[in-house]
Amino acid sequence: MKVGIYYGSETGNSEMLCEDIEAELGDGFDCDIQSLADVDPAAMQKDTFYIIVTSTYGNGDLPSTALPFEEALVEGKPDLNGIRFAIFGLGDMVFAETFAHGSMKLADMMKAQGATQVGERGIHDASGFDMPEDIALPWVQGIMGLMDADQAA
């Protein structure tokens, strides 16, 4: 299975987590890690499963590297029917009112264009005791289990 692992990041946490996710998935998957800055949503493929990891900045916004992707979604309105994705958000409960809102908004924008979200959004709180990978790696195993069940059905 082709897996596009895409990050929106300001200080590198989301990018590092994508590398951990690729390692967790192992050799059985054809993984491609990209910054959302380099991705055109209109070019997303139905034969690829997308795992998106993004932090939150500003007033609950996406990090600056993901803003062109957001703009291409909102302005370009690409048809994402048949595109499947899972999303993991990094945030910090210090910003309680906007906690992990970037990933929530991005999931909503992709679904508005017809994409299908697989599983629940994963979330990491930088104020908590867990490292991002402590939350994200069990989460991604659960997500891939859902994908397996879907393919077996």
Which residues are at the interface with ligand FMN (CB under 6 A)?
Answer: 9-14, 55-57, 60, 63, 90-92, 95, 98-100, 126
Taking the least distance from each CB to ligand FMN, the nearer of 41 and 63 is 63
Q: What's the length of the chain?
A: 153
User: What is the residue whose two structure tokens read 């499947």?
Assistant: 84
Do 138 and 97 contact (CB within 8 A), yes or no? no
CB of 4 to ligand FMN, least distance (A): 17
Nearer to ligand FMN, 60 or 68 (CB): 60
Cite the DSSP H helix spans in 11-100: 13-25, 67-76
Which tokens sit at 110? Answer: 């992709």
CB 63, min distance to ligand FMN, A = 5
Q: 24 or 92: whose CB is closer to ligand FMN?
A: 92
Smallest distance from the beta carbon of 132 to ligand FMN, in angstroms?
A: 7
Q: Report strand pairing: 30-35 vs 84-91.
A: unpaired
